[in-house]
Amino acid sequence: MNVKYWPVLLLSLLPLWAQALEVGERLAPWTLLDQFDQAYTLDNQVQTLLVARSMEAAKLVDAALQGQPKGYLEARHTVFLADIQRMPRLIAKMFAVPHMRDYSYRIMLDRDGRVAPRYPGAQDKVLWLQIKDGQLVAQHEYATAEQLREALEKARP
């Protein structure tokens, strides 16, 4: 690679480093619509934020929540954020979002990639952000539905 391109490469990677959320940082509030087109705003009551950046990760959340009653996440002060910006809009509108309305839990849908990129992590894993009074206190990634289910059970209200 030509040396004159190194500064451009490094500058292009800078936003990736700048977006990494550190323990102790306050999460900026955001508002998104869920699968029922109901607005939700992140507030200081949230204790856990689950972030899925891919269909694989969203399926992990769904598998972990199978058999759980409506209000299961809310009782644990947990919010589920799904990044669907890469999904074609027509597919989302006609098929995916209507299918999501059958779930017993709310999904905050990041249709434009305004929120999920704030929380970097692996595409195929579910990012778990533990929050207290709006500040990040811990973060974990889960690769299996069983691990996520166990973590949710430990987060009893």
Query: Any idea where the domains of the chain sit in the sequence?
Result: 3-154
The answer to whether the pTM exceeds 0.75 is: yes
Q: What is the CATH number of domain 3-154?
A: 3.40.30.10
Question: How far apart (Å, rounded) are the C-alpha atoms in residues 9 and 22?
Answer: 24
**H or E stretch covering 83:** strand 78-83
Q: What is the pLDDT along the chain (157 residues), one digit of tens a residue?
A: 555 555 554 445 544 444 568 999 999 999 999 999 999 999 999 999 999 999 999 999 999 999 999 999 999 999 999 999 998 888 888 888 999 999 999 999 999 999 999 999 999 999 999 999 999 999 999 999 999 999 999 987 6
Beta bridge partners of 49: 79, 129
Q: Are 130 and 138 in contact (CB under 8 A)?
A: yes
